[in-house]
Amino acid sequence: MAGFTLELNDDQKQLRDWLHGFAAEVIRPAAAEWDEREETPWPVIQEAAKAGIYSLDFYAQQYFDPTGLGIPIALEELFWGDAGIALSIVGTGLAAVGVLANGTEEQIGTWVPQMYGDADDVRLAAFCSSEPDAGSDVGAMRTRAVYCRATDEWVLNGTKTWVTNGGIAHVHVVVAVVDPECGSKGHASFIVPPGTAGLSQGQKFKKHGIRASHTAEVVLDDVRIPGHCLLGGKERLDERLARARETARETACEAAGTPSERVKNAAMATFEASRPAVGAMAVGTARAAYEIALDYAGTRTQFGRPVIDNQGIAFQLADMRTRIDAARLLVWRASWMAAAGKPFTSAEGSMSKLYASETAKDVTARAIQILGGNGFTREYPVERMHRDAAIYTIFEGTSEIQRLVIARTLSGLPIR
């Protein structure tokens, strides 16, 4: 287990500098164009694939960094370049993680490479979980998967929403209900192979920010997939459902407000797993806006002196930098704890996501104010960064959900 340190090693510094160069030279110059087009930036993703950034190997190397800092370092630099394009580059990772976490070795070896393709044939994947009536409330999920024993097929029906790469992906990973009586434990994940009949793109969303990232509904209408597309396999699912039924007593205790320690830990792991990564994205966006505002304040003159000489501006910059550094430290702490196997006994993952996402909104708004009228125009990127920052307090659990998780963790109450 690596000890916690704020000093990056040589490999981490090289990673940071390499990705910063890619973000500065490839991502940022293309950001305004693809934001206006509101389309997937295929040429930039292809450049990322050629550089080795858009690949399973790259993310696996960062994931297995024993300090836990590889992923947050990478995400901060990419999102410093542009949030919309960066999300298009990393969005496939959501589906890949779903397969890596739940699939068999054979499924991982078969499907994950197809999610990325290669530099000459770039492909995307989509993770389909949220629904029109089931976002943070996963217990309200309605998409059903029914097993047909005669044909060894699963039949999926339902609608997924807010899906990154939804409908344009080569491979879709879909979370569906297989046993409604087991609640969230009655869910399973399925691979929907490319070209499967019945899967279609629904509404494509016209978004306030991250507009270079494709977000759409995915409609599942009698989608029939082979039995081997159930992640983990039927035998493992049956065993898990049997255990879920056996723990009905513990679930009843949880509903009464006295959850067992095992149930609490399972819920905490579900809520906390991806929070620090989103926090790192938010830190990248906040840092980008702060740096632009700092440079502007140092070069823009009013009344014969740089505007940074005014305390009203200088103090705002001081607060912005302080919040960014504090957010990064929370993200790094949670990332290190996860890599070290330390439990989030105080919801440290949610803390990092909450503070970093709120910081991104605050810092980008202050950047616009410092730039004045220029900040309100699309001639300067802080306007786009402010629009992008709004998503961090919404996806992967809203700020309100983060506060609920933190409060319930501290009080010992169950997380529903």
Categorize the per-residue pLDDT at 259 as very low, low, confident or very high, splitting at 50, 70 and 90: very low
Mean pLDDT of the chain, nearest integer: 90
pLDDT at 265: 34
Lowest-confidence region among 126-135, 217-226, 350-359: 126-135
pLDDT digits (tens, 9 = 90+) for 364-391: 999 999 999 999 999 999 999 999 999 9
Phi/psi at 164 (5° precision):
-65, 125
Contact 401, 312 (CB under 8 A): no
How many CA atoms lie within 13 Å of 161's alpha carbon, on the beta-carbon side? 12
Higher-pLDDT residue of 257 and 289 is 289
For residue 261, the model assigns a pLDDT of: 41
Residue 185: what pLDDT? 82
- The mean per-residue pLDDT over the stretch 230-235 comes to 93
Q: How confident is the model at residue 276 (pLDDT cuts 50, 70, 90)?
A: very high
Whether residue 262 has pLDDT greater than 50: no
Asked if residue 15 lies in contact with residue 74, where contact means CB atoms within 8 angstroms, the answer is yes
CA distance 204 to 216: 4
Q: What does 266-310 look like in DSSP terms, one character per residue?
A: HHHHHHHTTHHHHHHHHHHHHHHHHHHHHHHHHH-EETTEEGGGS
- Please report the pLDDT score of residue 184 as a whole number: 75
Give the tens place of pLDDT for each residue, 22-74: 999 999 999 999 999 999 999 999 999 999 999 989 998 998 899 999 999 99
Whole-model pTM?
Answer: 0.90
- Region 142-156 average pLDDT: 96
Residue 396 catalytic?
yes
List the domains of the chain with CATH numbers: 10-122 (1.10.540.10), 125-246 (2.40.110.10), 269-411 (1.20.140.10)
CA max distance for the chain:
83
Confidence at 302, pLDDT banded by 50, 70, 90: confident
- How far is it, in rounded angstroms, from Cα 80 to Cα 160? 29
Q: Of 47, 254, 358, 396, which one is the catalytic site residue?
A: 396
